[in-house]
Amino acid sequence: MTEISTRQDVMTLVNVITVDPSRCDELLEVLVNATEETIRRVDGFVSANIHRSHDRRRVVNYAQWTTLDAFNAMRSLPQVGEHLRQAAELAESFDPITCSVVHTTS
């Protein structure tokens, strides 16, 4: 379970990936496998939450890392690079946004 809270000392990645709807499920599989096989074991990983848009044209990963440095270090690992290449072959574009939680209401 992932918690969103201003009290957590984490950085947040919102990665909006655009994809042809016919390749959406394949892209989701690549991202889920990358998370389960590799990324969850990397130092600084907190959570990853993968979403499919209703029109199947976007996949959104809402992920948390302990620090921005830990997130950037993960991206340069060779074993992560292979997963990223697979995702890049399926996606039309990536828009990774690194951010902080400012306010929550629930």
Where does residue 70 rank: exposed (0-12), middle (13-18), buried (19+ CB within 10 A)?
A: middle
Q: Does 105 bind its own copies (CB under 8 A)?
A: yes
Q: Is residue 47 at the binding interface for its own copies, with CB under 8 A as the rule?
A: yes
Q: Which of residues 61-80 bind its own copies (CB under 8 A)?
A: 62, 68
Q: How far apart, in whole angstroms, are the C-alpha atoms of residue 44 and residue 59?
A: 23
User: Considering the rule CB under 8 A, would residue 53 count as an interface residue with its own copies?
Assistant: yes
Q: How far is the CB of 45 from its own copies (least distance, A)?
A: 8
CB-CB contact of 68 with 47 (8 Å): no
CA dist., res. 30 & res. 39, Å (int)? 12
Under rule CB under 8 A, residue 103 binds its own copies: yes
Distance, in Å, from the CA atom of 70 to the CA atom of 79, rounded to the nearest integer, reads 15
Query: Is there binding between residue 40 and its own copies (CB under 8 A)?
Result: yes
Binding site for its own copies (CB under 8 A): 1-5, 12, 14, 16, 28, 31-32, 35-36, 40, 46-54, 58, 60, 62, 68, 95, 97-106
